[in-house]
Structure 1
């Protein structure tokens, strides 16, 4: 099978969980002896994966340009995977026109509209506070599925994202919570969704003991809004509470694309160290005694917590952080909602060896039972092959998707063609509109 992946960005497995997941998918496809090509309109990034080592050609493409039509027509892929719904909006209509029989698969990474809804709920709660101190005390968003639906249903991003899900032959979801939300609240048919836990989580071969480890650790891509909010909450509220109990405690904060506003938080006297990029996340993770992930909003699966479990490092997080990972299994650390409980749990794990060892064992069990790479990969391959074998019937059953492709993508198609004509200098075109978010 010939596979084309259209990435919103080039995969960076050392920077983000989304990058790790993309490499895992590529490796799975290559293991089937499928030919894979990766294309993206993004600028080449400093930390991108070496796709050539996986025998995967890199093809730069251009938004709103007919050159993509020439490229995809010549390639004639059997399967096209869109990395995030933005890519589906931009390129799916072109793929359908040039390769109508190609499977169109949407990889969500996480539900962007869910993350956005939770971020807006957090901001609303903070805006209602009477002081800065009260804002810092706000815990993780705890909205129910019904409450989330009420926030998301009339929102532009949710409508765009779920429309992309309907237009696709299959959508891959990494979180079973998100699959349930789409099915039960938005009414998306189960036939359009596939829960796939594939992630690149190699277990660290050497795991130092409790006594051999020291300090707390926090890690995450600073360009990801939930991670930046977590660092701010650590600095303003959580770390002072921990240091009251453990005056000599040290926190090492790592993250790719560290901005000046993050390095400005550095304060060695308070034990707060902003160390920036970690070339090997596992190398620093196995040295820490406890991982802190105070995520107040977000979506998907948290790669940092999977990495912590793989390194035998217990963690403290929120229900947002643990969502979709453990099922009914006990957590590999502690899951808490508010600042004081978070600090208490962090201190307890740092100081109590028996508690620490039990949390470590819980984390290993979660990875073994919930993130079985072989089982998850085989299930996805079988689903894709079955879908391809029965594609005409599957598409007939998805009437809503066909309707959306017929109507909604026409506006995207015509706008893209107008921009392409403008860029070629065709007569009768006017300046490009300012709002490009819907193109």
Structure 2
């Protein structure tokens, strides 16, 4: 659909950690889809508050504007969030992730007191952190305090957006959680024809950026505890690891490349050809949260998927029919081998998975949900003194915006260690 171009179009602001790109991750592709769908009914501006990914913004900004009708004011530089707020009245402000929202919401509330402030959880970070500590045996002493801040941030927003019904229900079951104005917008997948699939015998594929902790842990687990069993049954099998080690963060991947039959290929621009040639796609995730884009996108392409219960979380799919699910290493290996040796089973699982994920995550299904979010926005009635303070707020918020960008960069670098 074409972007909304009417004079009376409502205004929406999307606040992100960095300018999203379709070539980065499924999470960023989801944000692009949501922004584009909003732009079908509103005038959408997008600003980033992070500074950790310089150099690639111009191409991303052009794609957002030309392909999706989303404007990125002032080249997306972090300080320009305040300049964007000055003199513009937004009805809806959507903030990506709780850590961005924690610092940004006070500024946004002060500068745009009439706007409805929505936080996109992306996934429940406190759930991911708790699972990581339990799985790896490395507790984080700051985990509980960080979880409290995350929940407090959700509570301070007017609307919360979850990626699945499972995470919404989990949040609403917590003490003190806000149980109203909660929406669910899943991963968005493009409708694809599976007729062009030409799986190469023995080819097993993992897709995902290796800077993300659950991905790195899952690939190591697969190589050390599962892949050997696959090779003993099918010695000619190959395991391709596709995914960027983004932004230059150091990551111990040498051991992965030394495994027999394993190739660590890094970033691949055209994932459609990867999925078309994969005999099996694996998502061996031992911890994480949210809906896994790597699983949804592989299913949408018609590739048979083997994953864990964590990897299948939030997806309305039937294990054994739409995808195969195993948490034990031996069971996981048997599931991979079964799909490699039985082409009819692989084709059946791939076709069923594509149909299942389309019913939940297809653009035609998600679009009305996004439009309903915009239609439900009612500007807050703000007293005159508060409006006066809002006009003065940008002068006071410039330094805060700079600090926000630096804090986010420091957090990202710390998390990658």
| TM-score category of the 2 structures, normalised to the smaller one | 0.7 to 0.9
Q: Within 1, Cα distance between the matches of 2:301 and 2:363?
A: 17
1:289 aligned residue? 279
The Cα shift of 1:19 comes to 0.7
Q: Provide the secondary structure at the position in 2 that maps to 1:155.
A: helix
1:38 aligned residue? 46
The Cα shift of 1:75 comes to 2.7
Indicate if the aligned counterparts of 1:294 and 1:321 stay in contact, CA closer than 8 A: yes
Report the TM-score, using the length of structure 2 for normalisation: 0.81
1:324 aligned residue? 314
Indicate if the aligned counterparts of 2:14 and 2:95 stay in contact, CA closer than 8 A: yes
Q: Within 2, Cα distance between the matches of 1:153 and 1:189?
A: 24
**Unmatched 5+ residue regions in structure 1?**
128-150, 394-412, 424-431
Q: Provide the secondary structure at the position in 1 that maps to 2:134.
A: helix
1:55 aligned residue? 69
Q: Among residues 114, 117, 137, which one is paired with 1:104 in the alignment? A: 117
Q: Within 2, Cα distance between the matches of 1:274 and 1:213?
A: 19
The Cα shift of 1:101 comes to 0.6
Indicate if the aligned counterparts of 2:205 and 2:240 stay in contact, CA closer than 8 A: yes
Q: Within 2, Cα distance between the matches of 1:284 and 1:325?
A: 22
Are 2:152 and 1:159 equivalent residues in the alignment?
no
Aligned length: 377
Greater shift after overlay, 362-371 or 174-183? 362-371
Q: Among residues 206, 226, 249, which one is paired with 1:218 in the alignment? A: 206
Are 2:186 and 1:197 equivalent residues in the alignment?
yes
Q: Provide the secondary structure at the position in 2 that maps to 1:359.
A: helix
Q: Within 1, Cα distance between the matches of 2:180 and 2:381?
A: 14
Q: Within 1, Cα distance between the matches of 2:193 and 2:216?
A: 27
| Residues 20-169 of structure 1: pairs in structure 2 closer than 5 A | 20-32=29-41, 34-43=42-51, 44=54, 46=56, 49=60, 50-53=63-66, 54-59=68-73, 68-124=81-137, 155-169=144-158
Q: Among residues 351, 372, 376, which one is paired with 1:382 in the alignment? A: 372
Report the TM-score, using the length of structure 1 for normalisation: 0.77
Q: Within 2, Cα distance between the matches of 1:421 and 1:267?
A: 44
**Unmatched 5+ residue regions in structure 2?**
1-9, 383-392, 412-417
Indicate if the aligned counterparts of 1:173 and 1:196 stay in contact, CA closer than 8 A: yes
1:230 aligned residue? 218
Q: Within 2, Cα distance between the matches of 1:202 and 1:372?
A: 7
The Cα shift of 1:94 comes to 1.3
2:345 aligned residue? 355
Q: Within 2, Cα distance between the matches of 1:384 and 1:242?
A: 49
Are 2:213 and 1:255 equivalent residues in the alignment?
no
Q: CA RMSD in A?
A: 3.2
Q: Within 2, Cα distance between the matches of 1:154 and 1:87?
A: 17
Are 2:324 and 1:334 equivalent residues in the alignment?
yes
1:410 aligned residue? none
Post-superposition Cα deviations, 1:249-289, rounded to whole Å, max 9, x if no partner, equal 11111101265622552137x11111111111121111010
